[in-house]
């Protein structure tokens, strides 16, 4: 679980080097601190001008057997393992300097990266950490039975459940489940990438796996292979021989699988690395059937759409402690029954406020609007919104009991849905511009069950009504 509310980066430097899985090029990777709100940024130090490549789904250019990022003319291959390590380590911002085209494959897992990051240590930064709380199901369906779904969770965990089915006698159907990111290092980070021996020659023809070997990938043989067949595969890779033996179906590697379901666990590892490209710590449960890098990235793009649509939305949970109750509100606002239309203030910071109105059948305005079809008047929705904004405005002065806020202008009023008895309305207001000379300009939105019901832009002025008692 990523519990800290502040962003983190590396305290020191992590350095790793090795051969790239697909390019076969030896490279060194240096990972060190990144500035707040920059995310993960690759830097190709071997290219003129040391171009930067932000690690974001919008910059994914290739997903064949790995995730390739491109920005401008600069690319970096096989990014998923190091990104999974950074993400699971709770690192928000990092610069990754690479003097070659591909991140070293090392042993084919994320564990060496996690160990190097752990050695470098973490440092807390001042900026607030960026989360994405899943509020409704988001799904993706691809070819060949690929399905990915994320569903809301009661808590703040990031869970992943994976099912793979390769219709293979040596692999078959496997599943893996991660309950939270805290389990990633011990249960998933060490799981290696895998390949079927029958695929090796074809992948080599495509210009891939030039650096592949049994020391950095699990190689699965679905049948026995003759020495001549193995020599032919070795030739396609540009080698004199293939290490290992395939006299019987099974794992070609001399070492055993690290888990009986290591391939499924590695697929889960890849999901973590690819979803790190969303730029948010996700709170929700991912369910994936037959995933791969192409599906992971496509699904990540759907998540980014949801993130952008929910940007600056309030926390809709109303079953949590409030910041101000009705007594606190009455001490600040001059409004009284039947015109006090805010019940609780849930959140407030230097640019926004969230308040709640519980609408009951006993509201006096339902007597005339309308007796047989009760609907909360739009003008009172705006008034309640303004009262929440008034609390924000008055909280900026030392003696709010001596001030009031008055409307100067209302623009862009829109009503999307009816508000009915039994609804809990969540009002969220955000500053449009800094408060100057007592003028407060805010954008207000009202939500019921997470759906927008009304919105408006309001300009108000903070006015002193009376002098403090000790000055009277």
Contact 354, 391 (CB under 8 A): no
Position 297 scores a pLDDT of 97
32: in domain: yes
Q: Say if 408 falls within a structural domain.
A: yes
Q: Per-residue DSSP letters for 354-403? A: EEEEE--TT-GGGGTS-TTS----HHHHHHHHHHHHHHHHHTTSS-GGGE
Does residue 278 sit in the same domain as residue 144?
yes
277 token code pair = 């490209």
* One domain for residues 288 and 385: no
Q: Tell me: do 286 and 305 sit in the same domain.
A: yes
Give the CATH number for residue 298: 3.30.230.20
Cα–Cα distance measured from residue 110 to residue 112, given in angstroms and rounded to the nearest whole number = 6
In a domain, 154, yes or no: yes
pLDDT at 203: 76
Classify residue 461: in a domain, yes or no. yes
pLDDT means per 10 residues, the chain with 472 residues, are 86 96 94 97 97 97 94 96 98 98 95 97 94 92 92 92 84 91 96 82 76 76 74 70 62 77 94 98 96 96 91 82 95 94 95 95 94 95 96 92 90 96 96 91 94 95 75 46
Residue 331, classed as helix, strand or coil, is helix
In a domain, 344, yes or no: yes
CATH assignment at residue 385: 3.10.129.10
Q: What is residue 417's predicted lDDT score, i.e. its pLDDT?
A: 95
Q: H or E stretch including 200?
A: helix 197-205
pLDDT of residue 257: 84
Whether residues 135 and 27 share a domain: the answer is yes
pLDDT of 244:
58
Token readout for 393 is 């405005």
Which position has the token pair 């939105």?
Answer: 445
Residue 72: give the domain boundaries.
6-190+262-309
**Number of C-alpha atoms within 13 angstroms, CB side, residue 29?**
31
Has residue 318 been placed in a domain?
Answer: no
Indicate whether 330 and 418 sit together in one domain.
Answer: yes
State residue 240's pLDDT score: 62
Q: What is the pLDDT of residue 246?
A: 63
Whether residue 378 is found in the same domain as residue 404: yes
Domain co-membership, 305 together with 160: yes
45 and 81 fall within a common domain: yes
Query: The tokens 């039975």 sit on which residue?
Result: 145
Long-range contacts of 54-60, Cβ-Cβ distance < 8 Å, separation of 24 or more:
55/79, 55/83, 55/96, 55/276, 55/277, 56/277, 56/278, 56/279, 57/277, 57/278, 57/297, 57/300, 57/301, 57/304, 58/301, 58/304, 60/277, 60/297
Name the nearest CA neighbour of 426 among 332, 346, 340, 334: 346
Show which residues are catalytic.
Answer: 293, 369
The total of structural domains in the chain comes to 3
Q: Are residues 232 and 361 in the same domain?
A: no
Residue 103 domain-assigned (yes or no): yes
Closest to 224 (Cα-Cα) out of 206, 197, 199: 197
Q: Is the peptide bond before 184 cis (omega within 30 degrees of 0)?
A: no
Q: 11 and 103 in one domain?
A: yes
Residue 321 in domain: no
pLDDT of residue 472: 45
Distance CA 158, CA 280 (A): 11
The per-residue pLDDT for 39 is 97
* Nearest-angstrom CA–CA distance, 429 and 314: 9
Return the pLDDT at 216. 77
Please indicate, yes or no, whether residues 337 and 268 belong to a single structural domain of this protein.
Answer: no
Question: Are residues 44 and 85 located together in one domain of the fold?
Answer: yes
Relative to beta strand 424-431, strand 439-448 is antiparallel
Distance CA 61, CA 305 (A): 18
Which pLDDT does position 427 carry in this prediction? 97
């Amino acid at each position: 679980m990523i519990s800290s509310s502040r962003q983190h980066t590396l305290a020191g430097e992590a350095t790793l080097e090795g051969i790239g899985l697909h390019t076969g090029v030896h490279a060194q990777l240096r990972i060190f601190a990144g500035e707040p709100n920059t995310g993960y940024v690759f830097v190709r130090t071997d290219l003129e001008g040391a171009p930067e490549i932000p690690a974001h789904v919008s910059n994914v250019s290739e997903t064949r057997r790995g995730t390739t990022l491109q920005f401008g003319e600069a690319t970096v291959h096989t990014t998923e393992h190091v990104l999974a390590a950074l993400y699971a380590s709770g690192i928000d911002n990092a610069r990754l300097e690479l003097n070659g085209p591909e991140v070293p494959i090392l042993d084919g897992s994320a564990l060496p990266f996690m160990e190097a990051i752990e050695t470098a240590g973490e440092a807390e930064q001042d900026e607030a950490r960026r989360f994405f709380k899943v509020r409704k199901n988001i799904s993706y369906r691809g070819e060949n039975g690929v399905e990915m779904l994320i569903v809301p969770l009661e808590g703040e965990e990031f869970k992943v459940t994976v099912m793979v089915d390769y219709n293979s006698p040596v692999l078959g159907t496997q599943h893996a489940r991660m309950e939270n990111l805290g389990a990633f290092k011990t249960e998933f980070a060490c799981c290696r990438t895998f390949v079927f021996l029958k695929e090796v020659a074809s992948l080599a023809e495509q210009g891939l796996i030039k650096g592949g070997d049994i020391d950095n990938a699990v190689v699965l043989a679905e049948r026995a292979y003759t020495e001549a067949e193995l020599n032919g595969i070795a030739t396609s890779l540009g080698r004199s021989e293939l290490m290992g033996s395939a006299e019987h179906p099974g794992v070609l590697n001399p070492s055993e699988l690290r888990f009986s379901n290591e391939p499924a666990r590695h697929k889960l590892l890849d999901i973590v690395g690819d979803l790190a490209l969303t730029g948010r710590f996700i709170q929700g449960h991912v369910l994936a059937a037959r995933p791969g890098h192409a599906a992971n990235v496509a699904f990540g793009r759907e998540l980014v759409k949801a993130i952008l649509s929910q940007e600056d939305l309030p926390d809709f949970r109303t079953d949590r402690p409030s910041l101000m109750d009705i007594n606190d509100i009455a001490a600040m606002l001059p409004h009284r029954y039947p015109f006090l239309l805010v019940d609780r203030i849930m959140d407030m910071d230097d640019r926004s406020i969230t308040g709640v109105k519980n609408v009951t059948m006993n509201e006096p305005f339902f007597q005339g609007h309308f007796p047989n079809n009760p609907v909360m008047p739009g003008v009172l929705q705006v008034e309640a919104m303004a009262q929440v904004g008034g609390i924000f405005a008055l909280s900026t002065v030392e003696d709010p009991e001596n001030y009031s806020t008055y409307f100067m202008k209302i623009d862009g009023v829109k009503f999307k849905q009816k508000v009915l008895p039994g609804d809990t309305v969540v009002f969220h207001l955000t500053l449009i511009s800094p408060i100057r000379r007592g003028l407060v300009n805010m954008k207000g939105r009202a939500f019921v069950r997470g759906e927008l019901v009304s919105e408006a832009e309001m300009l108000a002025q903070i006015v002193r009504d009376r002098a403090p008692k000790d000055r009277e």
